[in-house]
């Protein structure tokens, strides 16, 4: 009897197991396949190797081999390149002062021979400027650049001290409002008059413009995969009964591994505002930032962000990534514009407010574009949730008051300062808010 009972139980078990397989396997098997394909795509994606020159310059609006700088911590200026009426070529360097504190300069380190005189030639126009040669903190030679509405040539000759190997050339404008342009800079030693010691003295070079599709195909190395396996994964990814792989990001990753840009651009052509839902977003590319910079330098990540904005032009994340990159040293108009583009593509809420605050701070503190700053600060205040660290809602209110006062919008400024003073948790801003509020007596509409 025990033997019969045991056999009966085994029969029942296998009968139930078989029925279960018949019922559930048709639904379970596709998920197993999709999970397998999911792992395949992930492994291939994170095996990508980015090629590039780690020393390649950014296309950030600052001329290559030149450094934009302010002498001191309080000066403000816009450094950049201008295609309007260069002395020669297509571009000239330009500095526009946005306050009257300290000097703003372009600078370049020059390797020199310790023997023989060096003569520098520079064309300039605009406000009064200067050219200065330094050995460390000590000025070796300097000369004023004349105020002029047309291009003027200035020469400066000096002799490096013995045992000098490198010096610094400064081109700048001192503490006054206005613009100055520079072009065709040359420094030549009497011992080698055929060699210009200045790199990119014509200011024509600014990063590199590339065909982004060709860059992805030639500079991003994909792992070698078995063709039969790859085709099977492709069938699963593109099947109608997708579950896990129905997520857009996974589809985009597979198509990029296949260099199928058309499919990605088509898929990302109709996405929800902000690209924060299941529509997919550039995070699949931007999330590789650390690995990309290690392999290909910051210019490699710049290329990835440009590629992402080309593939997914309606998503704000890639524009913000470029703005973060460009504003990491000297804030530029280009960075501010990219933050504004990010804000305009964002969903209402913390995403929109965060990008707006970044755009406002650049426009107000560095670029002196008070009107744009006011517009962006209002957007930031209306879309909370982005606040962190010292970047607070009340700081945005303080900035709004300061920008409004500068534009002569006195009552709006007064209201903003009062809102700061009504805040119970931002006492660190009270002193500045009280001072600004008292200063409104000189505010003129």
Q: What is the edge-to-edge ordering of all strands in the sheet holding 92-97?
A: 77-82, 92-97, 178-189, 118-126, 148-158
Q: Is the pLDDT of residue 356 over 70?
A: yes
Same domain, 140 and 252: no
Same domain, 56 and 80: no
Q: Is the pLDDT of residue 397 over 80?
A: yes
Encode pLDDT of 170-191 as tens digits: 999 998 889 999 999 999 998 8
Q: Is the pLDDT of residue 320 over 70?
A: yes
275 within a domain of the structure (yes/no): yes
Query: What is the pLDDT, as a whole number, of residue 27?
Result: 54
Same domain, 51 and 98: no
Same domain, 294 and 213: yes
Encode pLDDT of 138-167 as tens digits: 999 999 999 999 999 999 999 988 888 889
First to last CA, the chain: 105
Query: What is the pLDDT, as a whole number, of residue 442?
Result: 75
3-state secondary structure of 337: helix
Domain boundary among 266, 294, 315: 315
Q: What is the pLDDT of the chain when averaged over all its residues?
A: 88
267 within a domain of the structure (yes/no): yes
Q: Is the pLDDT of residue 242 over 70?
A: no
* Residues linked to residue 97 through DSSP beta bridges, in sequence order: 77, 178
Query: What is the pLDDT, as a whole number, of residue 24?
Result: 46
Same domain, 75 and 165: yes
Same domain, 55 and 95: no
Same domain, 112 and 36: no
Q: Which two tokens stand for residue 113?
A: 């021979």
Q: Is the pLDDT of residue 56 over 90?
A: yes
Query: What is the pLDDT, as a whole number, of residue 243?
Result: 44
261 within a domain of the structure (yes/no): yes
Taking each helix axis from N to C end, the angle separating 350-361 and 393-406, rounded to the nearest 10 degrees, works out to 40
Q: Which residues of 10-43 are buried (b: 16+ CB within 10 A; e: fewer)?
A: eeeeeeeeeeeeeeeeeeeebeebbeebbebbee
Domain boundary among 300, 315, 330: 315
Which long-range contacts (C-beta less than 8 Å, at least 24 apart) are formed by 337-340? 340/372, 340/376
393 within a domain of the structure (yes/no): no
Q: Is the pLDDT of residue 19 over 60?
A: no
Q: Which two tokens stand for residue 125?
A: 């126009």
Q: What's the pTM?
A: 0.85
Number of structural domains (the chain) is: 2
Higher pLDDT pick, 310 / 37: 310
Same domain, 182 and 220: no
The answer to whether 64 and 93 are in contact (CB under 8 A) is no
Domain housing 53: 27-60+209-315
Q: What is the CATH number of the domain that holds 164?
A: 2.60.120.260
Same domain, 217 and 247: yes
Helix/strand/coil (H/E/C) assignment for every residue in 363-428: HHHHHCCHHHHHHHHHHHHHCCCCCECCECHHHHHHHHHHHHHHCCCHHHHHHHHHHHHCCCCCHH
Instruction: Name the pLDDT band for 381 (thresholds 50, 70, 90).
Output: very high
Summarize the confidence of residues 81-88 as an average pLDDT.
95
Residue in 394, 402, 338 with CA at minimum distance from that of residue 370: 402
* Residues linked to residue 157 through DSSP beta bridges, in sequence order: 119
Same domain, 55 and 74: no
Residue in 103, 101, 99, 102 with CA at minimum distance from that of residue 177: 99
Same domain, 81 and 163: yes
Query: What is the pLDDT, as a whole number, of residue 15?
Result: 53
Same domain, 252 and 304: yes
Encode pLDDT of 207-225 as tens digits: 999 999 999 999 999 888 7
Domain boundary among 282, 315, 348: 315
Query: What is the pLDDT, as a whole number, of residue 424?
Result: 86
């Amino acid at each position: 009897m025990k033997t019969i009972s045991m056999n009966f139980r085994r029969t029942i078990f296998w009968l139930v197991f078989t029925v279960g397989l018949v019922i559930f396997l048709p639904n379970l098997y596709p998920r197993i396949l999709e999970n397998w394909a999911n792992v395949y795509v992930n492994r291939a994606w994170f095996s990508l190797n980015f090629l590039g020159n780690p020393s390649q310059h950014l296309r950030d609006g600052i001329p290559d081999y030149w450094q934009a700088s302010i002498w001191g911590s309080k000066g403000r200026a816009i450094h950049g390149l201008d295609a309007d009426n260069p002395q020669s070529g297509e571009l000239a360097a330009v500095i526009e002062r946005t306050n009257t504190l300290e000097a703003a300069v372009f600078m370049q380190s020059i390797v020199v021979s310790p023997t023989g005189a060096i003569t520098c030639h520079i064309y300039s126009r605009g406000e009064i400027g200067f050219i200065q040669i330094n050995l460390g903190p000590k000025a070796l030679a300097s000369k004023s650049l004349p105020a002029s509405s047309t291009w003027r040539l200035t020469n400066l000759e000096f002799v490096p001290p013995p045992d000098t190997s490198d010096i610094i050339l400064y081109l700048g404008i001192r503490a006054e409002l206005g613009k100055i342009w520079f072009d065709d800079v040359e420094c030549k030693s009497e011992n080698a008059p055929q060699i210009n010691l200045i790199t990119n003295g014509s200011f024509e070079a600014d990063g590199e413009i590339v065909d982004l599709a060709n860059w992805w195909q030639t500079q991003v190395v994909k792992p070698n995969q078995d063709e039969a396996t790859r085709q099977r994964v492709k069938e699963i990814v593109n099947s109608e009964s997708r579950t896990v792989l129905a997520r857009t990001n996974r589809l985009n990753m597979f198509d990029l591994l296949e260099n199928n840009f058309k499919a990605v651009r088509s898929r990302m052509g109709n996405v929800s505002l902000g690209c924060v839902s299941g529509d997919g977003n550039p995070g699949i590319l931007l999330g590789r930032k650390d690995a990309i910079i290690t392999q290909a330098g910051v210019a490699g990540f710049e290329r990835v962000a440009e590629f992402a904005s080309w593939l997914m032009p309606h998503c704000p994340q890639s524009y913000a990534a470029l703005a973060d990159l460009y504003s990491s040293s000297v804030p530029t108009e280009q960075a501010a514009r990219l933050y504004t583009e990010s804000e305009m593509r964002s969903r209402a809420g913390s995403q929109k407010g965060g990008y707006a605050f970044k755009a406002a701070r650049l426009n107000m503190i560095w670029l002196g574009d008070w009107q744009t700053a006011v517009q962006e600060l209002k957007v930031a205040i209306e879309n909370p949730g982005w606040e962190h660290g010292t970047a607070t809602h009340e700081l945005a209110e303080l900035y709004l008051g300061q920008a409004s006062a500068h534009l002569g919008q006195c009552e709006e400024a007064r209201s903003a300062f009062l809102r700061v003073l009504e805040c119970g948790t931002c006492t660190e801003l009270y002193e500045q808010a009280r001072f600004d509020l008292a200063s409104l007596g000189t505010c003129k509409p």
